[in-house]
A and B are shown apart, each in its own frame.
Chain A
Amino acid sequence: MTETLVEVDDLKVHFPIKRGVFLDRVVGHVKAVDGVDLRINKGETYGLVGESGCGKSTLGRALLQLTPPTGGRVNFDGTELTTLPAKQLRSMRRRMQMIFQDPMSSLDPRQNVESILTEGLQAHGLGGDRTERRKIIAKSLDAVGLPQWALSRYPHEFSGGQRQRIGIARAVVLNPDLIVADEPVSALDVSIQAQVINLLEDLQEELGLTYLVIAHDLAVVKHISDTVGVMYLGALVEEASSDDLYRQPLHPYTRALMSAVPVPDPEIEDRRERILLAGDLPSPANPPTGCRFHTRCPWAQPTRCRDERPGLRIIGTGTHRVACHWAEQIESGEIRSHAVKAELIADGAGARDAHGALETALETPGGPVV
């Protein structure tokens, strides 16, 4: 029996673009997040992938109300967060924590570890007196695998992996229900990545945590997630259980993402089909009409893709949701990919000609060694 912890409905975050010297004139909006629906079940991990600039981090922050959403609703365990008064929201924050990408900049350089870990407890009046607090802190240090002498140290005295552990301890010490991890391992080197990912999994098991993991590394997301959502230009284009999505990606964008992940077997690697997307990510200030992806989609069909924005719809049985008008036809081969606006190449030789390949999926080919 799965219970929903977070329910996001039609969430929008639009940043105004301002011009002018004396009076700011709003000349447009950057639609960083533009209508996202998602559910995160208790005790599960929801992985959010997408290339840089697609709005996945903004979505994470808007979910925690760190960036005020422009529209939509966020329901956290029965409480509506978007309309919650500031005071209640502040006490609600104990239950939803965040882990940041850069562990150095997310720790105050003038605070020692003890003060970093105590701050949250103090803010919520938890843990009673000093000795009791120290006990709680010591426990969370243990939980993330840091030695006790770390307490009197300052962030700059630690390595990157240790700093990320401090960041995790800071989140865990409040005993939260939800943790939003924004690129938790992309600033770390690969050997440390695996340690931190394993730590996150151990903690989830011990403390019954629910995660929203934001990443651009497909291997990391595949390993850690129960459900995966793929974002493109501020909206979800596909969502499915981790196994389903990696076995059978249905959205053209997801297919392109997946095809960029190298396969360890050199023979398969040589023969497999690679989809290289032409062009750059369109500006979120002026997104394409209709389907956001139609300008780069090798399967785009005339008029409908350009005119009508596809919503997420369930395909097949279960929970696989896709925002594509032609998902079934593409899957059955009824619609062939074309090379009018984008290139489909079967061999590696053509890759030189195609520019603007998917930067995201290519960033870390190996992924963590687990």
Chain B
Amino acid sequence: MSTKTDKIDRLGELTAAKQDEHGVSLWTEAFRRVRRNPTALVGIAILVIFVLVAIIGPWVAPYSPTDFIGKGEVRSGQGIIPGPSAEHWLGYDHQGRDELSRLLVGARQTLLVGIISTLIGLTIGALVGGIAGAAAGLGGRVGRAVDSVLMRIVDMLLALPSLLLAVSIAALLGASLTTVMIAVGVVSVPIFARLLRGAMVAQANSDYVLAATSLGVKRTKIAIGHILPNSLAPVIVQATLTLATAIIEAAALSFLGLGNPDSATPEWGLMLAEAQRFLDIRPGLAIYPALGIIITALGFTLLGEAMREALDPKLRK
């Protein structure tokens, strides 16, 4: 018909080879990048083992974690705690319970503490940060006021030392595992809130938001459909990294005696706390749960760092 149609045809021919492929979204590409990153694979491998242990631990544990089977042999008062043997690979704990079984069963509690406290922090933090970010980015005068109020509250939370905040929450609610989870979760709220809000404010000033406005798209739809999805990457990375710190912090709180006072349900942090009294006799009792915590945290950190690399738009080619 015209020269323009010819031009289009030529363009079509030139690129015909690619025709069958589908578009690759940023998430798909990030996933591919994670899969190709050896660091990420190590992290994932560690986490898979950890999660597996957490799930099947109670069934593979050779003994019950709460039975005082070695009661007769253990005299912790006199400094006698039998070490590893053929029947008990990691020996007894200070009350004569099988240490390996307690470790295997305790993984589940530790994982739960990490996940639940991170979820608490993520949910509240993302909600507060998301509202503040959307309000600041699009809401005009009222929006900026809403943002200011929310962020000053978050700043106040951030000003308190995290351990102190956790200790006071635990003191308020009484010592239990739930308290530990809430305390660790609340401590991470300001981090998530600030992160999401900052990312959203930055995205709200971008050209494609202006473009959507000029198309006539509604403001709420722009906030949910454009600004939020483009701001999530740093939050997801932070959540992965927070899982690691949450496990360590929960262990620290248990160590300080703010966790579950009842040692019937094994938990790595609590095991570590109890073992400190017998550090001179059987240091292994402290080293095993500590190693478990460190390796798990390392797994989450490796995965988090790999995800940060994969999702960072600046590193995108």
Which chain A residues have a beta carbon within 8 Å of chain B's beta carbons? 61, 64, 66, 90-91, 93-94, 96-98, 100, 102, 105-113, 119-120, 123-124, 142, 145-147, 149, 152-154, 156-157, 167, 170, 174, 202
Given contacts A145-B4, A152-B23, contact A105 B217 (CB under 8 A): no
Query: Which A residues lie within 8 Å of B206 (CB)?
Result: 105
Q: A100-B211, A147-B8 are in contact. List 16 more A-B contacts (CB 8 A).
A: A61-B210, A64-B214, A90-B216, A102-B207, A106-B211, A108-B212, A108-B230, A109-B313, A110-B27, A123-B216, A147-B11, A147-B12, A153-B23, A154-B23, A154-B26, A167-B211
Contacts of A156 in B (CB 8 A): 26, 316
Most buried by B among A108, A109, A113, A147: A108
Query: Given the interface contacts A109-B230, A110-B229, A123-B218, does A100 sit within 8 Å of B22 by beta carbon?
Result: no
**A12 → chain B closest CB, angstroms:** 19
Write 5 A-B pairs (CB below 8 A) sorted by A numbering.
A100-B207, A110-B27, A111-B226, A119-B217, A123-B216
B15 sits at the interface (CB 8 A): yes
Min CB gap A184→B, angstroms: 13
- Residues B211 and A107 in contact, CB atoms below 8 Å apart: yes
Contact A97 B214 (CB under 8 A): yes
The number of inter-chain residue pairs (CB within 8 angstroms) is 90
Chain A residues near B12 (CB, 8 Å)? 147
Docked Cα-Cα span, A107 to B211, in Å, equals 8
The answer to whether B230 and A106 have CB atoms under 8 Å apart is no
B4: chain A residues at CB < 8 Å are 145, 202
Q: Which residue of B lies closest to A93 (CB)?
A: B216
A152 to chain B: which residues have CB within 8 Å? Answer: 22-23
B22: which A residues are within 8 A, CB to CB?
Answer: 152
Q: Is the CB of A145 within 8 A of B7?
A: yes
Give the contacting residue for A108; candidates B15, B19, B27, B208; CB below 8 A: B208
Q: Does B25 contact A (CB under 8 A)?
A: yes
| Proximity string of chain B (11-50) to chain A, C-beta cutoff 8 Å, 1 when within and 0 when not | 1100100110011111100000000000000000000000
Say how far B22's CB is from chain A's closest CB, in angstroms.
Answer: 5
The answer to whether A110 and B214 touch across the interface, beta carbons within 8 angstroms, is no
List which B207-253 residues lie within 8 A (CB) of chain A.
207-208, 210-218, 221, 226, 229-230
Instruction: Name the A residues within 8 Å of B207 (CB-CB).
Output: 100, 102, 105-106
How far, in Å, is A348 (CB) from chain B's closest CB?
39
Query: In the assembled complex, how far is the CB of residue A9 from the closest CB belonging to chain B, in whole angstroms?
Result: 22
Assuming A108-B208, A147-B8, is B18 touching A170 (CB within 8 A)?
Answer: no
| Bound CA span A109–B313, Å | 10
In the bound complex, residues from chain B placing their C-beta under 8 Å from that of A90 are 216, 218
CB distance from A169 to the nearest CB of B (A): 12
Set of chain B residues within 8 Å of A112, measured between Cβ atoms: 23, 25
Closest chain B residue, CB of each to CB of A64: B214
Minimum CB–CB distance for B223 against chain A, Å: 13
Q: Which of B7, B25, B214 contacts A93 (CB 8 A)?
A: B214
Considering the complex, give the chain B residue whose CB is closest to the CB of A113.
Answer: B23
Chain B residues contacting A98 (CB-CB under 8 Å) are 210-211, 214
A338 to B41, CA, bound (A): 73
Contact (Cβ within 8 A) B18 A149: yes
